[in-house]
Amino acid sequence: MDFSSLIDQIGEHTANGLTKGAIYALVALGYTLVYGVLRLINFAHSEVFMVGTWAVLGVYTVLGATGGSGVGLVILATALAALAAVVASASTALIVERVAYRPLRKKNAPPLIFLITAIGCSLVLVELFGHVFRVFFGPPFGRALVSIPSLIDTEVWLDLGKTSITNMQIIVVVGAVVMMVALDTFVNKTRLGRGVRAVAQDPDTAALMGVNQDRVIMLVFILGGAMAGVAAILYTMNYDITKFDIGFLIGVKAFTAAVLGGIGNLRGALVGGLLLGVVEVYSSTLFSSNWEDVTAFVVLILVLMFRPTGILGESLGKARA
C-alpha cells in the first residue's frame, strides 16, 4: 500500500486514469449501442477496435510518416490515419453485422447462437491479423507486438506544479468527449436518432411508425464502429503500439465500463469508462500494476451488487436529457 505516492501525485494519476478511461468509454459506446438495439453483446467489437489500429499503421507506412517528418506530413498523416481508422472500424463492424448477425436474425436464432457467433467473429478477425495476413503479406502481421511511429512528440501543455498534463492526454480526453457529445446529440435530436431510440424501446412499434429496422441496426453498427475507430487513432497516438490481439483486454475493459455505467446507456458508457480508467490507475499506484485488472473487476462486482443496472441504469431508448 503506497498511499503517500497516490496522494502526492493525485493529479497526475487522475489525468492518466482519465486518458485511459476515455479510450474505454469510446469503445464502450459500440457495446452499448448494439446492446441497446439488439440485446446482443457483440464480442467482435474488440476486434473492430483492433482493425482501426492497424489502419493507422497502414496509413503511416504508406505515407512514410515518422517522428522526424515535417509538420505538413504529420498533419496529413494524422488526419488520414484518423479517417482510415474510422472507415476501417466502421466497415468491419458493418461486415460482421451483414455476414454473421443478419442471417441469424432472419432465421430467428436464439440468443445463445448470436453469442457464440460473436465470439467466432472475434476469433476469425484476430487470426486474420495474427496468422492469415502474415502468411500472405509477411510482417508486421503476426503475433508480435508492433510499434507505430509516434508522429507528435509528447509535450507538457499544462504545468500545475506537481501535476503536468501532456498534449496527448488533452487530445485523447477532448477527442473522446467531443465524439460522445456528437453521438449523444445525434441520438437525441435527429430524426434517424429518434428511429434508433424507437427500435431500442420497441422494435415492432418502431416498424409501425415506418422505421426500417435493418437500416437502424446497420446504422448502430456503423456508429459504434466509427467510435471504436476514433478510439483506435487516439490509442495509437498515445501508446504507439498495436498487436493482433490488442483488442481483447481493451474490449473486456470497455465492456466492463459499459456495464458499470449501465449497458444500453450512452452517457453511462462515458461515466463507466472514465471511472474504470481512474480506478485502474489509482489501484496500480496503491498496490502494483499487477493488481489493476483485479481492482477493476472488484469495482464492477461491487457496483453490480448494489446497483445491478449500472450507475446510470436505463436503456438507450430511455436515455435522454
Nearer of residues 233 and 316 to another protein, judged by Cβ: 316
Tell me if 189 contacts another protein by CB under 8 A: no
Pick the binder of another protein from 119, 145, 156, 209 (CB under 8 A).
209
Helix (H, G, I), strand (E, B) or coil at 46: helix
**Centroid of chain to Cα 109:** 27
Binding test (CB under 8 A) with another protein, winner from 79, 156, 182, 208 = 208
Give whichever of 145 and 209 is closer to another protein, judged by the CB atom. 209
Instruction: Copy the grid coordinates of residue 185.
Output: 446529440
Distance CA(314)–CA(265), nearest Å, equals: 6
Among residues 68, 71, 204, 301, which is the contact residue for another protein, using CB under 8 A? 204
What are the residues facing 156 on neighbouring strands?
Answer: 166
For another protein, the binding residue among 22, 211, 254, 257 (CB under 8 A) is 211
The partner residues of 165 in beta bridges, in order of sequence, read 158
- When asked if residue 318 is in the footprint of another protein (CB under 8 A), the reply is yes
Strand bridging mode 241-242 / 163-166:
unpaired
Residue written as grid cell 503511416: 60
20 binds another protein (CB under 8 A): no
- Asked if residue 13 binds another protein (CB under 8 A), the reply is no
Contact 30, 224 (CB under 8 A): yes
Phi/psi for 288 (5° steps) reads -160, 170
Interface segment toward another protein; rule CB under 8 A; list 66-74, 167-175, 246-254, 310-318: 310-318
Q: Answer whether 230's CB lies under 8 Å from 179's CB.
A: yes
Q: Which of residues 245-274 bind another protein (CB under 8 A)?
A: none
Nearest CA-CA partner of 137 in 128, 124, 148: 128
40-48, 119-127, 210-218, 279-287 -> range binding another protein (CB under 8 A):
210-218
Return the residue of 205, 297, 298, 302 that touches another protein, per CB under 8 A.
205
**Residues binding another protein (CB under 8 A):** 191, 194-195, 197-198, 201-202, 204-213, 315, 317-318, 320
